[in-house]
Amino acid sequence: MSDRNRSFRLVVNKGAQPLSIAGLYLVTDQGENLVERVRSALRGGVSVLQYRAKHKPPELCRSEGSELKQLCRSFGVSFIVNDDVSLARDLDADGVHLGQDDESVGRAREQLGPGKFIGKSTHNLDEALQAEQEGADYIGFGAMYPTGSKNVTHIPGTAGLSAIRDRVRLPVVAIGGITTSNACRVIDAGADALAVISSVLSSPRPDLSACELRLLFNRQRPFPRGTVLTVAGSDSGGGAGIQADIKTITLLGSYAASVLTALTAQNTRGVSSIHGLPPSFVMDQLDAVLEDIPVDVIKTGMLHTPAIIAALAERLTERQTMTALVIDPVMVAKGGAALMECDATQIFLKQLLPLAYLLTPNIPEAERLLGTRISSEAHMEQAARDLHRLGAANVLIKGGHLAGQHSTDILFDGTECRSFTAERIFTNNTHGTGCSYASAIAAFLAQGEPLGCAVKKAKDFITAAIRMARPLGKGHSPINHFAAVRQR
């Protein structure tokens, strides 16, 4: 066989990462179906599980704890037992977490042996330093905020956490009342891990809630911060599609990986032809990236065919650990060419849309998905709620197709609607707006911004990119990614 025809493949395998106390630290509750809820949360990216079995019979603690430990093993997650050193020893747990009134760190170490984590709850600097002196491996510190899971008499809060951060060399697990709305402040104050209970386990989707909290830790990473994988079609003119995605993600400070679904012969005047790629090759690209590169957010654009949509949905469902999915339901090009085959819509609605962390349709796309007309902001709100009922966790309806002096987008998070408004810019230089907007949101999510902040920053970016666009070509000119980023 000649060298020209020979295929070489070099695979470098790095060893598994050791268990650690960092990231999302989940404490179990006393509710029903605990194992299944924990399984879902682990899929969302929990790093440590603490089994808290208050008032349960010893036999149940051992059987339930054993099942949870095996789950943790399969996900590569640290398994800690709350308070009970004997149970931790019987289960061969990775460690035990002790309260201030429990036995000493030294005594727990004698019973569990070397190589096990010993954590200690603390409420002030003196207790934290004492735990460190006793040989604890990490400390719990709090409460950060009031919580319903226990009687809290002392709340040092984020100010107290900031005050001890430079004095304690151990990993700090922040405890008490932490939710997605306040977690960023706790991380910024110096927490290595966030201990949560109800904000994940009481959620109808523990996997999504865990994934959302896990991403917030990326805010402490160096740039390029976070990785976004875009699954989309190519725009040979470079204004939209995967080219616009990569420009946006890279310029905003994240790492961009890509999976091509289709090739288009396209310029600012329109799409002259489309060559869809085989679904098997699309999946080959996806697998190659995901088996090697840690991806924080997946963003989809032009998926083109029912087969690609179905294959993508199946592959994402099969993955052990979920990744936040931002879906831009690209259906029609700026010039009017159909980018999604007609019979793909129902498959999209049934198989892929329910996997969305965020769905970002413009008004024509939302109308097509719902089979209804949208002519006002009130209609946009209703459409967002309707698409949420179809399974998308969060829905952003983009209002650029309405008339008026302002362009308003509506975000529905399953509980409330929020508006994001900017002055409308009357211009034809809007090629790539939808692709770039969704990619900007994905990039900010990957960088550890909560959803509302990610949408606000992306809205500011896309508005500036439209305002600063310059004529290029003879049709709808592309937006100005570079200038928009420079003015940030």
- The pLDDT tens digits for 49-86 are 999 988 888 999 999 999 999 999 999 999 999 999 99
Place 327 in a pLDDT band, splitting at 50, 70 and 90: very high
The alpha carbon of 179 is separated from its chain's Cα centroid by a whole number of angstroms, namely: 15
**What tokens were used for 271?**
């799409």
Q: DSSP letter at 363?
A: H
HSE of 304 in the Cβ direction (CA atoms, 13 Å)? Answer: 19
pLDDT at 195: 97
Residues noted as catalytic: 398, 430, 432-435
How many percent of the chain have pLDDT more than 70?
Answer: 93
Looking at residue 231, its pLDDT comes to: 98
The answer to whether 285 and 298 are in contact (CB under 8 A) is no
Per DSSP, helices labelled H in 189-305 are: 198-201, 206-215, 241-251, 279-290
What CA–CA distances, in Å, run from 391 to 354, 357, 434, 436, 437? 4, 9, 21, 24, 22
Q: What pLDDT is stored for residue 340 in this prediction? A: 64
| Single-letter amino acid code for the residue at 125 | L
DSSP state letter for 349: I
- Average pLDDT estimate for 5-26: 61
CATH 3.40.1190.20 in the chain: give the residue spans.
227-486
Give the pLDDT confidence of 169-227 residue by residue, as tens digits.
999 999 999 999 999 999 999 999 999 999 999 999 999 999 999 999 999 999 999 99
- Looking at domain 23-220, its CATH superfamily turns out to be Aldolase class I (3.20.20.70)
Residue 251: HSE in the Cβ half-sphere, 13 Å Cα cutoff: 24
The length of the chain in residues reads 488
Q: Quote the CA–CA distance of 327 and 230 in Å, as a whole number.
A: 10
Q: Are 331 and 340 in contact (CB under 8 A)?
A: yes
pTM of the model: 0.92
Q: What is the mean pLDDT of residues 361-367?
A: 93
For 304, which DSSP code? Answer: -
Residue intervals of the chain classified under CATH 3.20.20.70 are: 23-220
CATH class of 227-486: alpha beta
The verdict on whether omega for the bond into residue 114 sits within 30 degrees of 0, i.e. cis, is no
Residues 123 and 139: their CA atoms lie apart, in Å, by 10
Higher pLDDT: 222 or 4? It is: 222
For residues 475-482, average pLDDT: 84
Over pLDDT 90: what percentage of the chain? Answer: 75
Res 2: pLDDT: 39
Summarised one tens digit per residue, pLDDT across range 110-153 is 999 889 999 999 999 999 999 999 999 999 998 999 876 666 66
Mention every residue, 6+ apart, whose C-beta is less than 8 A from residue 26: 38, 41, 46, 48, 49, 50, 195, 196, 197, 200, 201, 210
* 310 within 8 A of 355, measured Cβ to Cβ: no
CA 361 to CA 357: how far, in whole Å? Answer: 13
